[in-house]
Each structure stands twice: as structure tokens, then as C-alpha cells.
Structure 1
């Protein structure tokens, strides 16, 4: 694999040499070299647990290397803290924003930088935000902003420091396609002005589109450097995991058959001021299909899953029908007993109890359908056997059924949770953000399991912010916007821009010459009936 060349006669802006970091029982980084050049967008790739986060934390001063050296502009440095990193010219936009919703844009930026909230700072915010196509109103309260606008605050806060290196951690995980395009335009402009950018993402097509160089880590070691523009997404995934190219699951067109789940004009008022009320929600899920629900975070996804699982009950019981019977007034246990399973977005604390073993966590949802409890008594041997089956079938990396859930990586815990539900053979599985933050290998395993479940006659309702995921596994796709659900459309009649229109509350009309649905003129964003 050829090594990418930034500028052969140019000194790297930052060079990491032989960086190693050990924790009890694991070598997180093993003699890693990484060089970043001005004006280049460099991707850092690897599965969960490959060592990406550890390496970046040492670059930003959050961790100290056990061995190796870091050179900044050719001079050795000891980056002992994030403050020192910022002084050098290193800025980082984290995956999870650190903003106070009750404060304004100006107040959040001032608080993060130690500046006064005065007219001079407000003017600088406007000037920098407009220069880089990141429009912000300094007086706007953060709680009124979209997720994309909140990310702009984090980026502008970094740019006000005039950094030479910008580190982006999973920056597009909560953005619409249009917001992704805007972000990429900004990053390309920054690189064009000479800034070095280190870009961390699980979205391989984004890497191929944006980055000129990529470093791949596997099991704490650097295993390859490449130009991602000359690779396919499958070949990049293979480099991350080892072995040949991954076989991605293919969509099989399944004729609609028995209707298993139906929502008819479902309304759900907000339970508290932070909730999103659901209005006029309609959908139909048939045996043998996967329907996808797109949407930017905070548009009613959590509320929809709660009302489908039975954690929230509706006034009109017949607004939710399962196998033709009204279940809107039934609780979680009764719905599970009938064959309706749900996997929430939050893994630890909602889908699994962190302080319990994997065997004990099978009791959370499978105690009745798998016969793990008899007359109120736990059948420990059967629970351990079921946990072992999940671990084996879904290749969960752990020490066995007595492993604490809190000790698993995000990807392995998600495989266990998904396996726990799928092996119960539910008639309908509702699953939210199934591959959030997991590596390529875990994502492929989860997608294959969902498709196999559908092929065996179940219906799957997939709620995801990842459009690549929805296009990969779903037969029909709709979108949630402000608590309203759009009509569903066959995947083959959509592209990402069309789904972005649905995510923004628009509607789609006739297909263009390429067969893709287009925005409906004067769309009012009303919720459409699902077919």
C-alpha cells in the first residue's frame, strides 16, 4: 500500500514518532507514527478499540505517552494539557458538544475561551463565522438552534483561536446531508488556507470524499497509510479489520405481505418541556421488510421509540395496532410477550444494566420469551446458556457470560444487545441508532442480522441518523421532523438529498429523469400517511 505524500520537502506541522500507551491489561497504542502536513485533510481510521481516541488524547494533552515523541514544527514538545495544546495551535471539535443551552452563542464562546462577553468578541464571532460560511447570531440562545448550528459554535470557537491544526471527531454524526455539504465546504476552505485537519469518522464514503491521506489503526498498531480517494469503502473497511474486502448485505426487494405493525394518526403530548410532542404519526410495517426513519437528533425519535415500546402509553389504544389488535394501552411486558421488541439508543442504563453481568442482562428483556424465570425464580443456568449463545452467534469479544456489561466496548455491547433481541425471534423489532459509534465490522454484523431477521418474516423499524445505513439496509425510508413523520418512499426512488428534504419537513413529488423523487413545490411539511 503506497504511503501518501503531503509535501516531500515540507516539514510536518506535527509528527508523532513511536507513540505508545499502555493501560492495565491492554496496549492501547504500540509505537505509532503519524505525520500531519499543512493544507491536508488526514483521516484517522480504525475499529472501536483500535487506539484512535487514545492517540488523539495524547496529541491534545489529555493523556501522556508512555514512550515516543511529538514534534511541533520540527521542535520536540511535551503536550502536558489541553491548554498547552491550544497555545501551540491545536484545536479540537469533540463529537459531543460542550454547550450550555440556556446561554447565548456569545456567552458560550466567551465561557469556553475565558473572554469577556463584549461587543468586540461579538464582532469577531460574526466576522469569522461569515468568512468561513458558518453564520451565527451571537445573541441567539443555544436552545433555539439546530444541531448543525450548534456544531458551528464549536467550530467558530476553535477558529477564534487561529489554530494551525483542527481535530474533528465524528463531526457529521448528527448532521443532515445539506449540513454535511456545508461543513465539507468549510473544511476544504480551511485546508486551502493552509490549516492541517485530522478527521476521525466511521463514515468511509465521507473519508473518500474529503481526505487526501488516511492512517489506519488496528489493535493499537498502525497497519497502513493510503490515499482514500484511490480506495473503495469496502477496501478501507478491510484494511481496518484485516483480511479481504467485506461483503456488504444486499437489499432484496420483498413484496409487502402481512401487516404486522400499524400506527394511525398517533398523537403523544410532551411529558415535560424538553420532550418533542408527536403529531399524526402513521406508519405500516409488513412481514419481511425493513423500514427506515431518518431525522436529525431531537425531532421525536426517543418519544417514538418510547410509545412503540410501551414506556409511554397513548390515550387512543387503537392508534397502535399489532397483528391487527389495539396495543396502545398495553405496557412494555405485555408487548414483549406478544412479540414486539425494542432496542433503545442508550446502551448502558436503558438497554443494559452496567453493573450486571451479561447473563444477568438477558433477564432485562428475555425472561419470559426465553423461559429464564419460572414462578418468579431466576433460572441462572439457562440465562448463562442464552448469554453464551448470544456471545457465540454475534461474536461478542468478552470473557464469557459473567462479564460485566460496563466492561464491554460500545460495539461489543451493541452486538450483545441486538443479539439478545434477535434471538428471541420477535415479530417486530424497533431499533434506534443500531450502529451509533460502532466500527465497520460490528456495523456489518448488525446489518446482516437485521436483514436475516426480516428474511425470516419479521418486520424491522430502523430509526437512524446515519443515511448511509438507511440506504444500505432499508426497503422504504421516511423521516421525522419536529414530531411529524413523513410518508415512506421506496429506497430506490430516493437519494440523500431527497431524504434531507424529508428531514427538513418537506415533501417529495414526481421523480426526475433519473428516477429520483424531487422536492414538492411549496411543500408545507405536513405529516404524510405511510403506505
Structure 2
């Protein structure tokens, strides 16, 4: 009888303030695609790090192909044939893509040969990469591609994937699924972490559900519904987002003739970007990562003030040359795609992180920080958004990715902005938290805010957007009503197909 590829028994890992894994047992067979499902903070990431040797368990047994092993570190895991793609990436910003991937390979690896292999593998799986680019020039989505390609290059026996489809078009997701099914048919086992319940049902053979560090159930997801999986994971049905017909108000954010040269050799040039965002609407921006979203965000937020002054207008006022602080004073709210480093300072407390976007009489008086006020604000955000944290003084880096995202979104909503620009609002966030964040965005729209959502999650954009536009190769396709276009068509536009003549066609569709 064939041994299981991986068997975990009684795995326990305790930290000073939490039991991350509490007697977890898990079995993965050769050629099995096995999902691990749970809320943010359920213990999934800790368990995967134990399997990969990045964290040592306090108790429990690990069997690899029937033999007990102690995986001392990631290098030992790779020697066994285990590869992992982390949700939070382990890349060096100052090295190139090729140099980062070479770090996990034998020291005699030739970089020119490796670069050719990277290009070949990336093309095979539809994950476009430029091996010579430095990582600090890549978007979050492009960095995820580096991690996926690095894992695939090792030809692993067990591949651990954490949210691998968040940067892909629907067509590319299907291609990746085909690749994963082929790997499984060849005997590779896959541990698949995703918050997309439909993906798990379509792809995975087995699903282990975790809650509060414990296994609460094992099922065949192909026999379950999205609703039943949700109940197993969070113990309740997903909240329903109420939609309503609406009449948009006046234009709050107007972008016209926005063109920007590359800010660095690997940036995407913006070409004649133009759109209007109205009060009381959600306008979605779809696109494959690396097609100009980063550059558009920087131009809108004020991080890149090179635009012509009247190319960007807030409530009719030109702001193209204003910095981010000046635009915030005029009612702009902004949530970046990178949580740690841009959205929050990792070492600072949640209370102190409030100051990143709340700098006014309520928080600072006569040059002195009102610590009571920022503590109260942080506590309010934690309570309203159900953030799992040790309180306002907890360090930002101590939160799981999803909980930190809820805090950052809540911090920005607390400002009651006239215009909110938000990037990847639910990236890596569990289904319950994602539904809550989307509901809050819709509520903000209903209160009259103009909301611009840049997301690579098409289901998300179709759920909350009134209109959707697509960015490809630095060019923006004019918005179309979300109800008038299919996901497949948006996916084609995201790939750059049929982008010519887009504006006139889109205007016709709206008419």
C-alpha cells in the first residue's frame, strides 16, 4: 500500500499570546490536491511554515513518504522535495528576479542559464516575468509570480500554494488549474490555500477546515456548496451585500489626459488616462498586475506628483502637483496594495499607525500627539471591523494579513473621505472578512462617497462595482456598466486583446 506523501499528527505551536496550532493532524496523498481552509488567524500559515521548516513545532510528528522527519529549515524542506509560495513574500528588494530565485538553488547555478529557465517556465504557465528586473520595481502581483515560478522550477513532490490566483485573469486561472491537475496526475501533491470557495470546489480533492488553530472538519469540497464550506469555516452564513439602484451624483474625481513617462526603467508608462468618478458610485479598475495600476495609484494619491496640474481634479480643483497630504486635506482617502511598509509601519503599534492618515486637531495639538485620542480611534476600528489583535498597542506586524487589512481599511473609512481610492481591498483576506470589507465599501458609496477600487479579483469587482474599466499596458479602456459585460470579456481586455477602439465602443455600451 502506497505511503501518504505527508502525515501530520498532533502538531502544536504556541506563542506567548496565542495557540496557533492545537493538536493538528493532516494527511496528504501522492497526487492529491488538498485545500486548507480557514479564517485569517485560524493557524493555516503557521502550519504551512512548519511543513516548510520555517517554524519548529512544540509538539507533534511529521511523516514524509512514510518516514518520520524533522524539517530543520526551508533548505532541508527543499532537499526533501517541498516547495512553498508564501502569502507574504520572501524576496530581497535590491536583487533581480534571477538572483532571488538563485538563492534557493545550488551555488554553481549559472545565472544566464537560470534566466532562460525562468523565462521558459513563466511562459509555460502564463506568468509573465522579466528575469533582469529588480524586485523593488515589481508590483505585489508580479512578486507573487516570482514566488510561483521559483517553486515550479524545483519540480517538487509537494507544492504549497498560498492564494496563487489573486494576480491572474480568468483565462490564466484555468491554465494554472490545468497545470496543477497535470502536476497532480504525475504524482505531485499540492496543498492549496485559498479564500475563493468556488476555486476550492472546482480544483481540490480534499479540504481540511481549521478554526482557532484546530481542525474542525475534513470533507470532499466537490460535494459541498460555497455556503456549506463557509459555515464550516466561520460557523455562519456569509453576510449578504445589499445592492440598490442609484443615481450617481456630481463628478468628484476627474482624470483627463493623464500621461506619465516611466519613473524607472521597468515602470509602465501611462497613456492618455481619462475617466470620471461620481459621488455615490463604485468604479472598478480591472487589470493583470504590472499593467499600470501601480503608476495610476501613485499619480492619484499624490505619491507621484509629476502629472500636469489640471490632469487630476478633486471636486473641480486641480491637484495634479499636490502631494498626498494636501490631497487628503481636500477629502481624498487612499489604501495602498502593500500592507506592511506602505499601509502600516510594522514595528509601530496600531494606535500609532492611526497617525499615518489622521493628522489634525483630533490627534495632534500644538505639536503634541493626543495619545488618548489615537488609542480610542484604534480601539474603535478594532471593534467595528472585528480585527483580531491584542488591542491598540499591538504591533502592526503581529496581525495576520487579513486582520491588518481590515484595520487599514477601517482607519481610512474613519476619515469619512469624499473620494476613496483603494487597491486590492481583500487580497489574502478570508471570505468572512472580505464580505465585511466589501459591504463597508458599498455602505460608503451609499453615503455619497466616490469609491475607486483597483482589484485583480473579478468576482469582487462584479459584486460591488457600478461600472468597470480595464487597464492594459498603461492604457485605460473607458468604463462600462458592470451588468452589461461578462467576466470572460473583461478577462480578454485584461490580456490586452481588443483594446483598440475601446473608448468609442464603451461609450456606445453605456448609452
Q: Give the TM-score band, short-chain normalised.
A: 0.7 to 0.9
Choose which of 177, 180, 184 in structure 2 pairs with 1:187: 180
Residue 338 of structure 2: SS of its match in structure 1?
coil
Q: Which runs of 5+ in 1 are unaligned?
A: 1-8, 509-522
- The answer to whether structure 1 residue 432 and structure 2 residue 423 are counterparts is yes
- The answer to whether structure 1 residue 238 and structure 2 residue 250 are counterparts is no
Structure 2: distance between partners of 1:101 and 1:360? 29
Q: TM-score, normalised by structure 2?
A: 0.87
Structure 2: distance between partners of 1:250 and 1:464? 20
Choose which of 62, 67, 73 in structure 1 pairs with 2:54: 62
| Residues 478, 502 of structure 1: 8 Å contact kept | no
- Measured on the aligned residues, the alpha-carbon RMSD in Å equals 3.5
Over 6 Å off, 4+ runs: 99-105, 107-110, 118-124, 135-138, 524-531
Partner residue in 2 for 1:326 = 318
- The answer to whether structure 1 residue 365 and structure 2 residue 361 are counterparts is no
1:381 Cα shift?
3.0
| Residues 126, 172 of structure 2: 8 Å contact kept | no
1:156 Cα shift?
3.8
Partner residue in 2 for 1:283 = 275
- The answer to whether structure 1 residue 467 and structure 2 residue 458 are counterparts is yes
Structure 2: distance between partners of 1:492 and 1:70? 50
Structure 1: distance between partners of 2:385 and 2:92? 37
- Measured against aligned partners, the alpha-carbon deviations of 1:55-110 in whole angstroms (never above 9, x if no partner) come to 122222222222121222333222233343334333334443759998686x8766
User: Matched residue pairs, number?
Assistant: 501
| Residues 505, 526 of structure 1: 8 Å contact kept | no
Residue 63 of structure 1: SS of its match in structure 2?
coil
- The answer to whether structure 1 residue 417 and structure 2 residue 408 are counterparts is yes
**1:63–1:524 distance in 2 versus 1, CA, 3 Å:** same
| Residues 268, 291 of structure 2: 8 Å contact kept | yes
Partner residue in 2 for 1:456 = 447
- Measured against aligned partners, the alpha-carbon deviations of 1:352-379 in whole angstroms (never above 9, x if no partner) come to 33343333333322233x7333444433
Choose which of 43, 50, 56 in structure 1 pairs with 2:42: 50
- Measured against aligned partners, the alpha-carbon deviations of 1:481-528 in whole angstroms (never above 9, x if no partner) come to 2222222122222333222222222347xxxxxxxxxxxxxx478899
Alignment of 1:340-419 (within 5 A): 340-368=332-360, 371-419=362-410
| Residues 126, 175 of structure 2: 8 Å contact kept | no
Structure 2: distance between partners of 1:129 and 1:346? 27
Residue 248 of structure 2: SS of its match in structure 1?
coil
**1:115–1:310 distance in 2 versus 1, CA, 3 Å:** closer
Structure 2: distance between partners of 1:348 and 1:137? 25
Q: Which runs of 5+ in 2 are unaligned?
A: none
Residue 487 of structure 1: SS of its match in structure 2?
strand
Structure 2: distance between partners of 1:272 and 1:452? 38
- The answer to whether structure 1 residue 269 and structure 2 residue 265 are counterparts is no
- The answer to whether structure 1 residue 35 and structure 2 residue 27 are counterparts is yes
| Residues 169, 201 of structure 1: 8 Å contact kept | yes
Partner residue in 2 for 1:511 = none
Partner residue in 2 for 1:518 = none
The more displaced of 40-49 and 70-79 is 70-79
Q: TM-score, normalised by structure 1?
A: 0.84
Structure 2: distance between partners of 1:352 and 1:109? 27
The more displaced of 85-94 and 337-346 is 85-94
Residue 418 of structure 1: SS of its match in structure 2?
helix
The more displaced of 31-40 and 371-380 is 371-380
